[in-house]
Amino acid sequence: MRFIFVFVKFVSTRYNISVMKQVRIASLIERIGNLLRSEERALGAESGLQTVHVQILSYLSQCNRYSNTPAGVTEFVGSTKGTTSQSINILENKGFINKVPDKEDGRVVHLELTGKGETFIESNIPLAEFSDILDILDSDEAERLLKTLNKLLVQLQASNNGRLFGVCHTCSHFKKYGLGEIHQCGLTLEALSEKESYQICREHEVPSIKAV
């Protein structure tokens, strides 16, 4: 309900869309979110996991090396540090993830999917039902939907001072082929492989809200 209120408030202050339409859009997005949560719940139950555990595994399968930390997970799932820490321990005890110390800074721990965790993700994410539904979209429709949802998320995150968790190609720090034939992160100055440049990142910065 709070989401609908924030969303409608945001849209109504920027665009000339009727309130009825704003409520309908927000309601549809919320309904889709609820159905996805319900599918995640059913999937988790089959494997002895809670919804948040499935979300964490899904996040870790998509994020880059700067973001696969307990802090990154906490921000992404929007939970408290203590609750996230418990979830991480459960996933480790069940053999879905490993805690790997950072090579340069021993205080930092990276959370990596084990073979069991990767198999779980490959078999179940994207959620089967949702994946089937997305098949009704053609390539142009999928691209437009992606851009529209991304635009809404950017604005909502900005108004909530939250992180976007976008990919390098929409980040102000990204230097495409900044190291000759290899991409570079302008923030860390490290090289980024093609695959990494499409992973989500907690350090992502939007170049300009208007340009997105």
Reading the block at residue 177, the tokens are 């082929």
If binding is defined by CB under 6 A, does position 174 make contact with ligand SF4? yes
If binding is defined by CB under 6 A, does position 182 make contact with ligand SF4? no
Q: Which residue's structure tokens are 């459960």?
A: 90
If binding is defined by CB under 6 A, does position 59 make contact with ligand SF4? no
Residue selected from 152, 173, 182, 212 as contacting ligand SF4 according to rule CB under 6 A: 173
If binding is defined by CB under 6 A, does position 171 make contact with ligand SF4? yes
Residue selected from 52, 60, 91, 201 as contacting ligand SF4 according to rule CB under 6 A: 201
Peptide bond into 207 cis (omega under 30): no
If binding is defined by CB under 6 A, does position 99 make contact with ligand SF4? no
* Phi/psi of residue 167, nearest 5 degrees: -100, 165
Torsion angle, alpha carbons of 135, 141, 142, 146, to 10: -150
Reading the block at residue 120, the tokens are 């779980």
Contact 70, 85 (CB under 8 A): yes
Torsion angle, alpha carbons of 33, 26, 10, 37, to 10: -10
- Give the range of 41-49, 97-105, 148-156, 197-205 binding ligand SF4 by CB under 6 A: 197-205
**Interface mask (CB under 6 A) for ligand SF4, residues 122-161, using x and -?**
----------------------------------------
* Residues contributing to the site for ligand SF4 (CB under 6 A): 64, 66, 168, 171, 173-174, 185, 187, 201, 203-204
